[in-house]
Structure 1
Amino acid sequence: MPTIQDELGRRSLLYSLLMPVMNQFVPGLDKGKGMYFLFVKSEARTPGGLLARPVLTSYYKSPHFVERPHDPYTVYTSPNEAILCPDSYQSMYAQLLCGLAQREEVLRVGAVFASGFIRAIRFLEKHWRALCRDLLTGAADPDTVTDPSVRSAVAGVLRGPDPELAALVETECGRGSWQGIITRLWPNTKYIDVIVTGTMAQYIPTLDYYSGGLPLACTMYASSECYFGLNLEPMCKPSEVSYTLIPTMAYFEFLPVHRSSGCAADNPDPSDLVGLVDVKLGQEYELVLTTYAGLYRYRVGDVLRVAGFKNNAPRFNFVCRKNVALSIDSDKTDEVELHRAVEKAVGHLEPFGATLVEYTSHADTSTIPGHYVLYWELRTGPTPVPPSVFEDCCLAVEESLNSVYRQGRAVDKSIGPLELRVVEEGTFDKLMDYALSRGASINQYKAPRCVKFEPMVELLNSRVRCNFFSPKCPKWVPGHKQWSTTKSA
């Protein structure tokens, strides 16, 4: 997405509004710190030679973040050196170590996405013993944190051995249950600041488990193309989150979504567009942008619903991402991309005479990290298909997915290995029967390419004959198509 220098300044101004809004609901946030898990990702060059990197990496590496003036409302436990470390493992380890060392000062915790915060807690589950040893010695293990600047920054936070803190962390993490671990380790935490709208809503039960039911605050609405607005009631329930757009961030227009089809017109007439002052309560719209950086009437792909008004400014619920079938972290896989990947993978079955009858998918977040699941119903041939061939199918699907997915799998480890579940013959007939029993039209029914409704997932899982996982990470080369950045809704 194109950007210009003053866009970072505009986005920084939006960040500066977050804490004044939050302070109206949670006073005293200037008396402590925020433990936020923030990371940078790889940079690349476009074919034309322009620097390309994810939008948050641009912000974290800019003077707006690195040289930000002291503000008691935006003091973080993580030193800049840990945030800017390109090695995600070292960065995560250092940020957790610093967060534990300042546990009494932490008033709020978070990450950009709910998935990222849960990944940090899962990292703690795996490495708490090593972290306790470092708290005991007062220094980061040199074999774990090898970056000299990060080691130096962490040493400045730890300030020597702390056997009492090490023993406390060991006691809490050594218990059988991790329920409420956040408030047990960071007892003064008032809320979790993460995005839990859209596909991130699937992580709410896990966050509730780890936090003991702390409030979940969705503070802002943004994407790679543009930062949009704020949640003026950030302590509301996740299901009630609404955003007020800031009209100076871009020129906003809205394309009405048709009630019958649930989507906007593919080739709309410009006269169909509605201005920010003309949206109607309860109506759903697809967001359209004209930005300072050069996007003109760009269809973001987000579907919003008018939830109400703040004075005369409309507030919007985020409804969904148009055409997105699967998402675990910052990845977005639509039905077309998934179908192409499946088509390529089933070629491995041809030598055995097996064919694909039907398929669907599911984003399984019961594991940490979450992973994609494919359900395949096959018509078998004369020769049994070896397990290794099904594993090759898994890898072929992953190799065919977009660069953001592959980076999440191969580098960030934010997505687990893709799983293929082969179901019994007739399973998709059963799935159709279930849909028809709930009122679907037999004339209009088609197998869903992604299932989220729990009874449907349970039906599919009850008929699984065998399952297979991708045997290794897909290839990901820094710079290869990285200029096709992804969205953050």
Structure 2
Amino acid sequence: MLVAVAAVVAVILALALALALALALLAPALRHRLVLSALHHAAGRYRRRLSLLGSEVGLSQERRLRRLLPPGTARGSEAFRERQPLGQSCPEGGLGEQVPPLHPWALLRSCWGTDPPLQGSLLYLDVLRATFPQALAPQGMALLSWAPSGPLAPAGWPLPTLYCTPDEASTLPSRAAALRVQLLFALRQPALRVLEAGLAAELHDALGTLRSEWPALAQDLALGRLSPQPGLPEDVRGRLEALLAPDAVRAAEVRAECAQGFEGIVQRLWPQLEVVVVGMAHGAEKLYRDALHQADCKGMPIYCPFYRAAGALLGMNLWPEEPVPRFLLCPDWAFCEFLPCPAKEDSRTVLLGELWEGREYSLVLTARPGQYRCQAGEVLRVTGFHRQCPVVEPVRRDSQVLSVRGENIPEERFCQSLCRAVGMWPGARLVDYVCVESALLGASSGASAPHYEVFVELQGLRDLSEAQRYKLDQCLQEDFPIYKSFRFKGSVGALRLHLLRAGALPRLREALGSARPMPRVLREERLLHLIQSNVVS
């Protein structure tokens, strides 16, 4: 019997290998269509499976937990929760997975793979195909993403013929150089269908480069070259430049459109573009998504397909045309528990099938073997259900709460107060900001009471009066009664507001060393010193 099974497996593997070799020999366009068709059928199978899993959420979660626990461990979520105490914060994770080998065998494997990154990519490609019919054209996607430690898998990695951006461009040691090179390769493609970025901040910064360097970018297009720049090694520059060719016509188009201004520039540069995709556009990235919607990407849908926490893929956005991203939590991607908010000392976690619409929960995650019941630091709001699977909207990150006396000002509410204060400064527009609690300043904070220091980048104002600076503290007092009472007692000092030179925050994002959501509250002295060196007022 075992011999017969082994023979069958050998035959299947041989056929798969033969098919893989046949695919490799086909013309690129035909290979693209065949793989796309296979992935479409695989995505259809997974959609049907997801619908079935959504009807038995509890069983799906129990099966996922069993796969994550060591062999011989007592089974069942109840025993697991009784035996395993709530852990500390989850280890910080990245935004994606390392790129698997992009050969035909990897493409075939993706059709029957069961790990979350493969399933997520299948759903992503299926959603794009259903909503934006021309989005999956060969070479129709451009990628803007920085991964200095090695290339990360783009959202549609099982179909690499989608991308016109060379992999090597994302791994440059300099974030600014990587985004500029990727932008140049995107500009070469007037028939682009999808513009994809790992983070909303990466797209925001790349388009900022377009605003400031469009004459030089157009010149590079016309000459078919890559200008030397810091962070672009000469040998890499030579290899990437070999992929370019002079294109005076496209260079003239870029000059003409940029000379007219930058509102709606994305749609004007790429008239056939159907959608802008960003790997993360909620939480701290919402500020950049809103800025893109209002200016450079005006008129374009911005689609955030995935929900990740602590580096683990947890959910999928199946509604790409909705303005506010919401995510279906897939029950076979991780074992999830939830602490109701506001938390109580004796709160017991509830499971995926026990959530209530409209309520907020703090996420507890078991996504990898050995990392059990980690507190992800993410607060989610349940907005509805897809069968029994909850649909959620990320609300805030606990690690980004401002608090020097226990007043606990959440990230998203601080941003609302800041935007309200900026609205009182005639001509000003908020570009970006970060905060610091005075404890990080050490002796340099003086003898004053504990306080916040806020660093802002603005458009439309070169300086702020003392009265204008006080507006932010006043808005916080109006929005947070506890903060107001501490200010009245003198136990919390007046907020200090600093104005940054243009480009300070992109330099901070490069100093982070990897692509991750923008920290709004700095906790490291090296980042504090960097931002202090860019204060102009």
Partner of 2:146: 39
Q: Quote the residue 1:94 is aligned against.
A: 181
The 1:293–1:446 alpha-carbon spacing in structure 2 relative to 1, beyond 3 Å, is: farther
Does residue 183 (structure 1) correspond to residue 183 (structure 2)? The answer is no
Contact 1:94–1:154 (8 Å) recurs in 2: no
Query: Which residue of structure 1 aligns with residue 316 of structure 2?
Result: 230
Residue-by-residue CA offset, 1:142-178 (whole Å, 9 max, x unaligned) = 567544344323432x3x3211111111122223x21
Match of 1:339 among 422, 425, 438: 438
Q: 2:331, 2:389 within 8 Å by CA — same for their partners in 1?
A: no
Confirm whether residue 219 of structure 1 aligns to residue 305 of structure 2: yes
Query: Does 2:378 match 1:302?
Result: yes
Kept in 1: contact 2:379–2:396 (CA 8 A): yes
Do the aligned residues in 2 keep the contact of 1:324 with 1:333 (CA within 8 Å)? Answer: no
2:212 corresponds to:
126
Find the aligned partners of 1:426 and 1:229 in 2 and give their Cα distance.
Answer: 41
Letter in 2 for 1:171: A
Give a deviation string over 1:283-341, Cα, whole Å, max 9, x none. 1100100122421111101111111111121101111112414889xx9988xx62322
State how 1:244-283 maps to structure 2 within 5 Å. Answer: 244-258=328-342, 264-265=343-344, 267-269=345-347, 272-283=348-359
RMSD: 4.4
TM-score under structure 1 length normalisation: 0.64
Q: Secondary structure at the match of 1:210?
A: coil
Query: Unaligned regions of 5+ residues in structure 2, if any?
Result: 1-90, 99-114, 403-410, 416-431, 489-493, 520-537
1:111 equivalenced with 2:201 (yes/no)? no
Task: Report if aligned partners of 2:458, 2:499 keep a CA contact under 8 Å in 1.
Answer: no
More strand by share: 1
- Partner of residue 445, structure 1: 485
1:338 partner letter: E
Q: Structure 1 or 2: larger helix share?
A: 2
User: Shift of the alpha carbon at 1:184?
Assistant: 1.3
The whole-number CA distance in structure 1 between the counterparts of 2:394 and 2:116 is 22
Structure 1 residue 77 displacement after superposition: 2.3
The amino acid that maps onto 2:235 is P
In 1, Cα distance between equivalents of 2:499 and 2:159 = 53
C-alpha contact (below 8 Å) 1:290/1:297 kept by paired residues: yes
Is 1:11 the counterpart of 2:117 in the alignment?
Answer: yes
Q: 1:420 to 1:362 in 2, by over 3 A?
A: farther
Contact 1:140 1:155 in 2 (8 A): no
Amino acid of the structure 1 residue aligned with 2:448: L
Distance 1:154 1:447, change over 3 A: farther
Query: Is 1:85–1:150's contact at 8 Å kept on the other side of the alignment?
Result: no
Counterpart residue number, 2:531: none
In structure 2, how many angstroms separate the alpha carbons of the residues matched to 1:429 and 1:26? 43
Asked if structure 2 preserves the Cα contact closer than 8 Å seen for 1:232 and 1:243, the reply is yes
**Whole-angstrom distance in 1 between the partners of 2:464 and 2:228:** 42
Determine if the alignment matches structure 1 residue 173 to structure 2 residue 265: no
Percent identity over paired residues: 24
Structure 2 counterpart of 1:192, from 256, 269, 276: 276
2:448 is aligned, of 348, 356, 370, to 356
Partner secondary structure for residue 292 of structure 1: coil
Q: How far apart are the structure 1 equivalents of 2:469 and 2:173?
A: 48
Match in the other structure for 2:395: 319
Q: Which residue of 1 aligns with 2:168?
A: 81
CA contact (8 A) 2:121 2:156 kept: no
Secondary structure of the 2:240 match is helix
Q: Match for 1:431 among 474, 499, 502?
A: 474
> Does 2:360 correspond to 1:284?
yes
What's the TM-score, normalizing by structure 2?
A: 0.59
Is contact 2:380–2:395 with CA below 8 Å preserved after alignment? yes
Q: Which has the larger radius of gyration?
A: 2
CA contact (8 A) 2:257 2:268 kept: yes
> Partner letter of residue 331 of structure 2?
P
Matched to 2:445, the amino acid is V
Give unpaired runs (5+ residues) of structure 1: 44-56, 259-263, 348-354, 369-418, 449-458
State the shift of 1:356 in Å: 3.1
